[in-house]
Structure formats: C-alpha cells, structure tokens
Structure 1
Amino acid sequence: MSRITINITTTYNRLELCSQTLWSLLNQSALPEKIVVWVSKEAYLIDKGIDREPYWVRDLNKIKNLIEFKWTTNTGPYRKLFPALAAASEDQTIVYADDDTIYKENWLNLLISKFQEHNEEKIVASRVRIIKRNLFGRHKSYMLWPISKKEVELASDYLITGVGGVILKKKHIKEAFVSNQDYLKVCPKSDDFWISEIISQSQTPVLAYPEAMHEILLIKHEHGLEKQNTLISHSLTGKAFDRIKINTLGRLGVSICNNDISFKRIKEYFKETDKACL
C-alpha cells in the first residue's frame, strides 16, 4: 500500500471538537503515515483564523507522533482536500474526513481494505446520498436524497458526504479541477457538492461503502454550516412546516434549502462554462 495521509480541516471555534476527532484517529487499528490538519491564519466564513498550533497537539503526539498542523490559504471547508491534492505525489493515498466526528478503531482499516480490493481504481466513500428525480425529470430537494444503505458502484447522481471518510488518489480527479477555485464564488459553503461533481466529471467510479458508517460517531455541536445549508427546526410547528415543504415543494424540484441552491448553481456552472471538457 502506498503512503497514506488523513486530512481534515478545522476552525477557531471547533478546535476542541477537532482534538476529540484527532484522538480517535490516533487510535485506529491501521495507522496512516500522517494526520494533517489544514488551517489558516486569516478569517473566512465562520472561521476567525488560527495563528498557532494548539497546546494539546503535543500531548496527543505523545500517543503516536502523527499529527501535523499545516497553514494554507483559507478556503473554508475545501481545505480538507484541495491542499492535500496539490501537495500529493502520484503514489500517495489521500483520506479526507471531518473534524467533528469520532472514528472508531476499525474505520480506516475498512476504507483501506475496500480500496485495495478494487485495486485503488475506485474512490471509496462510506456515506453517500443518492440524488433523486421526480416524474418530470427534475431533481428533488436534497432533503429527499436517501443515504445509500448498500454497497454500490456509482458513476453519477450521487453526493459524497465527507463525514464518513473518503479514500482516493490524485489520479482520480482531473488536474484542471485541482487548481480551479471557482467554488469560492459558486458554492463556498458546499464543498461536498463541488467535490462530488468534479469526481463525476473526472469519470472516476465511486463505491458507496456503508459498512464503514458503523465506525463513525457524530458529535452534536453549534459550530457548523449544517444549519445554514439544510432545514433544521427545533419547534414542533417548525418541524411540521418543514415536512410540508419537503413533501410538496421539495418533490417538485423547488429549492427549499441552501444545499438545493448550491446544487443547482454547480450544475449550471459546469453546463455554461463547459468545464466538463477540461
């Protein structure tokens, strides 16, 4: 197996959450060569910026000396993948994940084993949503896209969600997409959508591997983009209204959350600019 790095990004307000994630990554049954945390000094979106390595990194590295903080330009959530792609050699294996998740000890081993089983020719992702259309051929709302519950190979109409972990190599994404930062104006908060689209445009097959989802534990918190991108109501009235919107407007293909808007903007971007031919 080639060299493996796990890559995540975090923000000023999520550093303590990130420390829990990193602890779980240090306790994997299969260990990477490095665990890289991509951060930035300048503020952007919800991030105030991070100007120094947290004190607890030294303590965690006493367990296993694998964690490395690296500073890069602040592109928000896109930092979990694109700096790693730019720095990677052709033989390097890249895993990216989220900073607000506990990964149980067999998570990485499962991803690596499945990746090797398919000769490293397919991107393996544990948590993948299947994009659905209505009877008129229009895309339904993101809120109606189910998470794949079975192992299946996909060429299109999917959304990889990074929280479950994704394993790939540099060759799986066309070089032109690695340097293209138009996502900063098209969909700055919707990295999973953009990444899924450029993988699809690169014609690399994706293997949904839900078995690895059993190895993740989500941390509930108030410091993410989920509330801004989806419909999340806490009151009974709000939840009921959300369900009505999802089952009426959402089924008709009307945008009812920011993720729907981002998805349509990405599709329009690639259609208008013909980036698929790069």
Structure 2
Amino acid sequence: MKVKEFPASLYQSLRLRYGIRFGQRSDSKPEVPVIVSLTTIESRLEVVDLVIRSLLSQSVAPRKILLWIHESLLENLPSKLTSLQNEIFEIRTTPLHCSHKKLIHSLEAFPSERIITCDDDLMYRPQWLRRLYEESERYPQAVIGNQTRTIRTDAQGNFMPYEQWPVDLQGQDASPWVLPIGAEGVLYPPGSLNPLYSRDDLFLKLAPKADDLWFKSMSLLNGTVCRRASNCGKKGIPIMGSQKFSLKHENIKKDLNSVQWGRLVDHFDLRKYLSHE
C-alpha cells in the first residue's frame, strides 16, 4: 500500500465502520441478479468486515454476498463481521485453504446466476457493482474484469514471463489473450467455465496459488470470451494492514505465476485455444 493512499483508506474505514448503519435488505435499493463471492484468510479477519460493508453500501443490491472461509476459522470470527449477516450477506465454510474457493463453491451453489468475485483487501466504490452489472448486460456471454493483463509471447511463440504481460492494455477489450485479474472484480456469466473448474486435484497440482490463471484456463477450454470492462470507474481503496501476507507479492517475487501458467498450458494444451487476431 502506498503512503499517499493512507488518508483515503483511513477515512473510508472510519466511514464504513461508524458512519453507516447496516440492517436488513432495503426495499428502496434496486436489486441486480448477481452473486458477489469472496474469501479471506485468518490474518485478515479483523479487516474483512470493511470489504463486506463496502459491498453492502453499493448503490444497487446483489442477491447474495457470500464469504467463504476455511472451516477452522468459524469459531474465531469477530463480532464486527458476524453482526453484518443478514438476508444478503452470508458466511459459509469450506475445507479448502486455497483462494480458488472464492468462486468454485458459489458456481456450484448458484449455477444459473452471474457471479462476481472480489478481493478481501479493498473497499469497493459505491458504483462498482452497478457498473459491472451494466457491462454484463452489454456483453452477457463474456467474462468481464475491471483489471486485466494481456498474455504475451515472444517472436518464437514462447510465453513471456507473467510480469511482462501488459496491464489494462488499450484497444484489446475482448480477446482470447485477455486475462481477468480478480482484485478489482471479475464477473462470470452462467456456464462460462469448463466443468473441470471444480477439480481440486487438478488446480492444487497445476495452479495452487494462481486462481486467476486457473479460471482463465477454464474459460479458454469452454471457448468463453474474456474482456476488460469499459466502464471501470475508480479503483478500490486498499485497507491498511491487509497486505502483511499477499499471494500477489509471493507469486511475483518468485515468478510463480509464470511457472503455474506453464503447467496449465502443457496440461491442457492451451496453445491451440489461443489465436492472434
């Protein structure tokens, strides 16, 4: 987290915790037919309520907000999180430790719904959900990400290191080469992923720390278009103290994303699903 982000983070944290009351579903707020799904880890239990509060404060209401936690954490949840449970927000448990649980269980529970995943270290802007929903109305068959990378190969056709894949590349809104990044939110329409998406024996072997790459592979196998949202709005506000442990930093430092992408490419022969336009 950058120093310049501290004031906004502090202000928004105080506003969400002490400036807004959260109760049952508001009849005055329009509902959109989506499920918002996320997960968290033990080190973020004291701050993840801020994410939930930002989701409950959206200008439109989702049908459900599901927080998936490992079953061992159920007895350690702070009251500032559990007290937020209502008709919309629900905490569910899973035996999985990996980040893939933020999507796979919700896909199984709500196979006919659009599902939006988000991260547990950002407070999302009030128009975040509305914007993603409106984009999905324009492109109902596409996986849509507010943040993306573009997969790149060199002159010999070899995949370049993950860190050399451009972020939010302009002029390539929809392409087999677009990789949606989970942090700022990704919307998955029903049936957009190959049925193998829930095979934990495969994703724990091939991409145990790269759920974005796993789900991208599943969209490729299913022939689903991925695109960057054209109406992203402002980025989410980082939560102070939430970055003590981050898969992003670990994957980048050790270039684990490149390693895991290579495994996925070889196992599923993904090259045949990628074509230059």
Deviation at 1:73, TM superposition (A): 2.0
Which AA in structure 1 matches 2:39? T
* Identity across the alignment (%): 22
Q: Distance in 1 between matches of 2:171 and 2:186?
A: 14
Asked if 1 retains the 8 angstrom alpha-carbon contact of 2:149 and 2:179, the reply is yes
Deviation at 1:153, TM superposition (A): 4.0
Structure 2: where are the runs of 5+ without partners? 1-30
Q: Which residue of 2 aligns with 1:96?
A: 117
Structure 1: where are the runs of 5+ without partners? 43-48, 232-255
Is 1:269 the equivalent of 2:259? no
Is 1:38 the equivalent of 2:58? no
Greater shift in the superposed pair: 260-269 or 208-217: 208-217
Which AA in structure 2 matches 1:24? S
Per-residue CA deviations over 1:185-239 (Å, capped at 9, x if unaligned) read: 11211111111111111101112115315242233611221222113xxxxxxxx
Q: Which residue of 2 aligns with 1:241?
A: none
Which AA in structure 2 matches 1:122? A
Secondary structure of 2:46 counterpart: helix
Q: Distance in 2 between matches of 1:10 and 1:180?
A: 18
Q: Which residue of 2 aligns with 1:172?
A: 192
Q: Distance in 2 between matches of 1:66 and 1:203?
A: 32
| CA distance 1:3–1:183, change in 2 (3 Å) | same
Asked if 1 retains the 8 angstrom alpha-carbon contact of 2:196 and 2:218, the reply is no
Which AA in structure 1 matches 2:126? E
Deviation at 1:84, TM superposition (A): 0.5
**Of 86, 97, 102, which residue of structure 2 is paired with 1:80?**
102
Secondary structure of 2:62 counterpart: coil
Asked if 2 retains the 8 angstrom alpha-carbon contact of 1:103 and 1:215, the reply is yes
Is 1:10 the equivalent of 2:32? no
Asked if 1 retains the 8 angstrom alpha-carbon contact of 2:70 and 2:94, the reply is yes
Q: Which residue of 2 aligns with 1:224?
A: 246
Q: CA RMSD for the aligned pairs?
A: 2.5
Deviation at 1:23, TM superposition (A): 1.2
| CA distance 1:264–1:205, change in 2 (3 Å) | same
Deviation at 1:50, TM superposition (A): 4.0
| CA distance 1:116–1:264, change in 2 (3 Å) | same
Which AA in structure 2 matches 1:97? C
Greater shift in the superposed pair: 107-116 or 167-176: 167-176
Q: Which residue of 2 aligns with 1:239?
A: none
Per-residue CA deviations over 1:2-58 (Å, capped at 9, x if unaligned) read: 73210000011111231111111111111111110011124xxxxxx4435431134
Runs ≥4 residues deviating over 4 A:
none
Matched residue count: 241
TM-score scaled to structure 2, two decimals? 0.79
Asked if 1 retains the 8 angstrom alpha-carbon contact of 2:179 and 2:226, the reply is no
| CA distance 1:112–1:75, change in 2 (3 Å) | same
| CA distance 1:105–1:144, change in 2 (3 Å) | same
TM-score scaled to structure 1, two decimals? 0.78
